[in-house]
């Protein structure tokens, strides 16, 4: 796993060449009366992997789900604040959640291949809702191949594209879900503890994949595993009790955190 | 204790074994090609069949399914999607009440609203009565099958920019489809043998008819009429009709089991 090392970025000089792809400003998220995310502000830089770490129930998944407006799909859930994607507020009046999700893909904790679809149709699933704008069959085959190549799955499944995705192993299913999310060329990819249900070998493959993906897509990954955050991310955000405590380049956060709570967490004093 | 359990298990299956055995002994001899292709003969003439009743039952099942399936599946989808809301709870409760309603009441309902205003018995009225019986059966199995679809699957579709309705139809309903098909077939098997709702709606017919606007024959009705008649020839036909009816239900039940097993068929959709 030695090759999976983050490119270290210096926190002081990081503003110049970097472009902010996604930006959250004073965002509050609720489940009914529960205040799950408290006034969170954070920037996600283009072509970088940002990890969100924190103990269970700290609101890291909720924060992630606010980025592509998935939070609001839960009954009684509520969001206040702004999330800017390339300078446009995804929560602005008149903006449709569906348009937002077209640009911000997401992969979940457990693999979610559609059981009634073949491997090929799973990867192409994002195009089915485009109607007349959907690519033609041959073009779609090309897109499917590219997406599977990007997720290093092509060699494993190219001979059985028409078979059920249920026949794949857990790790393959998860990489299939990443391929499915990437096929429609989103600007941002959200990963919600993508390796939580995988064995170590599959975990390593997904981590290598995430590391590779940073070149082409902005990645935000939620993980409860600090080693994973250290391995795959350029920047790390630490959350505690719904509050975004600290956001810094990964190396800085793990070696010289500013906040004492971050230090306690990474040195294993709680969580 | 174990002995009592075994005894109970044997007693539970005994009625079916006894009924099937008795039916086959009494009815099998009257089943021939004529039974399926010929019309009933007048009293005193040997032979003849129940072709009109078999076709009538199929027509009635068709009408009932055309009514019961879309409404039942739609209502089941509604219950699963609006889970926990007051409307959903009310609909679920009413659906259970409807399910528990005696079938003769369904017949009275159809008679009141379709037979009386039109002034005559009809296949349509019988089909409506059976369809109304199917609705709650299909509603509940659809709801239960949809609830078995993991929420994660629904979220995955939403995250792929699927609109809500597309998610419900092409992902959730599609994933639950084998179970829903099974439930629908069980409901069809259940109504295929109903007699009471047809007594004063479809009414029965000694002649060939496939018109929805006229009285139509049905296997259960014909069995009833022949069984209470004083003629030995007709008694034999009634037994044979019962065997065919049970065979029909058995075939549908087997199809239901097969549909559950074939979870992943063609990958083209």
Rounded Cα gap, residues A64 and A52, in angstroms: 9
pTM: 0.81
A and B: number of Cβ contacts within 8 A: 72
Best A85, A90, A116 member to test B by mutation, with max B CBs in 10 Å, is: A116
What share of chain B in percent tops pLDDT 70? 96
pLDDT given for residue A17 in this prediction: 65
**pLDDT band at residue B266 under the 50/70/90 scheme:** very low
% chain B with pLDDT above 90? 63
Residue B7 has pLDDT above 70, yes or no: yes
Mutate to test the interface with B, among A85, A112, A161 (most CBs of B within 10 A): A112
Strands of the A104-107 sheet, one edge to the other: A88-89, A77-85, A20-31, A34-45, A243-249, A235-240, A49-53, A218-222, A188-192, A104-107
Contact B161 A98 (CB under 8 A): yes
Nearest Cα residue to A157 out of B175, B177, B267, B262: B267
- DSSP of chain A: -TT--PPP--STT-SSS--EEEEEEEEEEEETTEEEEEEEEEEEETT-EEEEE-STTSSHHHHHHHHTT-GGGSTTEEEEEEEEETTEETTSTT--HHHHHHHEEEE-SS----TTSBHHHHHTGGGGGGGGGSPPHHHHHHHHHHHHHHTT-HHHHGGGTTSBGGGS-HHHHHHHHHHHHHHT--SEEEEESTTTTS-HHHHHHHHHHHHHHTTTSEEEEE-S-HHHHHHH-SEEEEEETTEEEEEEEHHHHHHS-SSHHHHHHHTTS--
Interior/surface letters A228-267, b for 16+ CB within 10 angstroms, e for the rest: bbbbbbbbbbbbbebbbbbbbbbbbbbeebeeebbbebbe
Q: Give pLDDT, residue B262.
A: 56
Determine whether the interchain pair A101/B159 forms a contact, defined as Cβ–Cβ distance below 8 Å: yes
In this complex, is the C-beta atom of A242 within 8 Å of any C-beta atom belonging to chain B? no
Res A271: pLDDT: 53
pLDDT at B268 over 60: no
CB-CB neighbors (< 8 A) of B175 in chain A: 114-116
Least reliable range by pLDDT among A151-155, B87-91, B138-142, B251-255? B251-255
pLDDT in tens, B40-94: 888 777 778 889 999 999 999 999 999 999 999 999 999 998 888 899 999 999 9
> Using CB atoms, which residue from A99, A118, A180 is nearest to B160?
A180
User: Is B163 at the interface with chain A, CB within 8 A?
Assistant: yes
Rounded to whole angstroms, the Cα distance separating B141 from B73 reads 9
Q: CA of A119: which chain B residue's CA is closest?
A: B267
Phi-psi region of A9 (alpha: psi -120 to 50; beta: other; left: phi over 0): beta
- Whether residue B157 and residue A73 make contact (CB cut-off 8 A), yes or no, is no
Mean pLDDT score across all residues of chain B: 89
Enclosing H/E stretch for B98: helix B86-100
Judged by CB atoms closer than 8 Å, whether chains meet at B177 and A116 is answered as yes
Q: What is the ipTM of this complex?
A: 0.88
Q: Which band of pLDDT confidence, cut at 50, 70 and 90, is reported for residue B1?
A: confident
Please answer yes or no on whether A126 and B152 come within 8 Å at the CB atom. no
**Domains with residue ranges and CATH for chain B:** 60-261 (1.10.3720.10)
Contacts of A125 in chain B (CB under 8 A): 157, 160
Mutate to test the interface with A, among B82, B160, B174, B180 (most CBs of A within 10 A): B160
Give pLDDT < 70 ranges for chain A.
1-17, 269-271
Q: Between chains, do A115 and B263 touch, taking CB under 8 Å as contact?
A: yes
> What pLDDT was estimated at residue A134?
80
- Contacts with A157 from chain B: Cβ below 8 Å: none
pLDDT at B29: 85
Residue A238: partners with Cβ closer than 8 Å, 6 or more residues away: A52, A53, A54, A244, A245, A246, A247, A253, A257, A259, A261, A262, A265, A266
Ranges of each domain in chain A = 20-266
Q: pLDDT tens digits for A28-57?
A: 999 999 999 999 999 999 999 999 999 999
Q: Which of B88, B153, B161, B265 is best to mutate for the A interface (most A CBs within 10 A)?
A: B161
Is B209 exposed, middle or buried (CB count within 10 Å of its CB: 0-12, 13-18, 19+)?
Answer: middle
Would you say B153 and A165 are in contact if contact means Cβ atoms under 8 Å apart?
A: no
CATH fold, domain A20-266, is Rossmann fold (3.40.50)
For B179-236, the pLDDT digits (tens) are 899 899 999 999 999 999 999 999 888 888 888 889 999 999 999 999 999 988 888 8
- Does A163 contact B at CB distance below 8 Å? yes
**How does residue B261 score in pLDDT terms, banded at 50, 70 and 90?**
low
In this prediction, residue B6 has a pLDDT band, given cuts at 50, 70 and 90, of: very high
Higher pLDDT, B247 or B47: B247
* Distance from C-alpha of B225 to C-alpha of A123, rounded to nearest angstrom: 60
Q: Does any CB of chain A come closer than 8 Å to the CB of residue B172?
A: no
Residues in chain B with CB shorter than 8 Å from the CB of A114 are 153, 156-157, 171, 175
């Amino acid at each position: 796993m030695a090759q999976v090392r983050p490119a270290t970025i210096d926190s002081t000089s990081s503003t110049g060449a970097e472009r902010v792809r996604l930006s959250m400003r004073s965002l509050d998220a609720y489940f009914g009366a529960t205040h799950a995310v408290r006034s969170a502000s954070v920037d996600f830089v283009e072509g970088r992997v940002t990890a969100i770490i924190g103990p269970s129930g700290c609101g890291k998944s909720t924060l992630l789900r606010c980025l592509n407006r998935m939070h609001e799909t839960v009954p009684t859930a509520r969001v206040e604040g702004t999330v800017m994607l390339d300078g446009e507020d995804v929560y602005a009046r008149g903006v449709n959640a569906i348009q937002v999700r077209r640009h911000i893909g997401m992969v979940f904790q457990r693999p979610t291949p559609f059981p009634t679809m073949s491997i090929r149709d799973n990867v192409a699933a994002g195009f089915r809702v485009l109607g007349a704008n959907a690519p033609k069959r041959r073009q779609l085959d090309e897109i499917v191949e590219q997406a599977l190549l990007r997720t290093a799955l092509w060699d494993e499944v190219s001979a059985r594209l028409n078979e059920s995705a249920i026949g794949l192993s857990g790790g393959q299913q998860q990489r299939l879900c990443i391929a499915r999310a990437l096929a429609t060329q989103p600007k941002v990819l959200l990963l919600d503890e993508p390796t939580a249900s995988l064995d170590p070998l599959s975990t390593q493959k997904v981590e290598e994949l995430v590391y590779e993906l940073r070149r082409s897509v902005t990645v935000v990954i939620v993980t409860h595993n600090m080693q994973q955050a250290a391995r795959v991310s350029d920047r790390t955000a630490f959350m505690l009790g719904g509050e975004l405590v600290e956001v810094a380049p990964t190396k800085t956060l793990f070696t010289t955190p500013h906040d004492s709570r971050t230090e306690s967490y990474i040195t294993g004093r709680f969580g | 204790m174990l002995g009592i359990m075994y005894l109970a298990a044997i007693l539970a299956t005994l009625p079916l074994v006894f009924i099937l055995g008795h039916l086959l002994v009494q009815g099998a001899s009257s089943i021939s090609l004529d039974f399926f292709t010929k019309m009933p003969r007048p009293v005193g003439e040997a032979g003849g069949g129940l072709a009109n009743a078999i076709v009538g039952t199929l027509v009635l099942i068709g009408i009932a399914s055309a009514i019961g399936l879309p409404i039942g599946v739609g209502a089941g989808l509604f219950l699963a999607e609006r889970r926990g809301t007051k409307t959903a709870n009310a609909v679920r409760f009413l659906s259970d009440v409807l399910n528990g309603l005696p079938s003769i009441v369904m017949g009275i309902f159809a008679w009141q609203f379709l037979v009386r205003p039109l002034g005559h018995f009809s296949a349509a009225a019988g089909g409506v009565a059976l369809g109304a019986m199917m609705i709650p059966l299909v509603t509940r199995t659809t709801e239960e099958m949809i609830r078995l679809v993991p929420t994660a699957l629904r979220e995955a579709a939403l995250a792929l920019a699927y609109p809500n309705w597309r998610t419900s139809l092409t992902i959730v309903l599609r994933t639950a489809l084998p179970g829903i098909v099974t439930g629908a077939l069980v409901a069809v098997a259940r109504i295929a043998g109903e007699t009471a709702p047809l007594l004063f709606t479809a009414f029965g017919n000694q002649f060939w008819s496939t018109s929805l606007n006229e009285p139509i024959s049905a296997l259960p009705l014909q069995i009833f009429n022949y069984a209470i008649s004083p003629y030995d020839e007709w008694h034999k036909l009634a037994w044979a009709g019962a065997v065919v009816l049970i065979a029909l239900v058995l075939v549908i039940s087997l199809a239901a089991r097969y549909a559950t097993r074939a979870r992943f068929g063609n990958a083209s959709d």
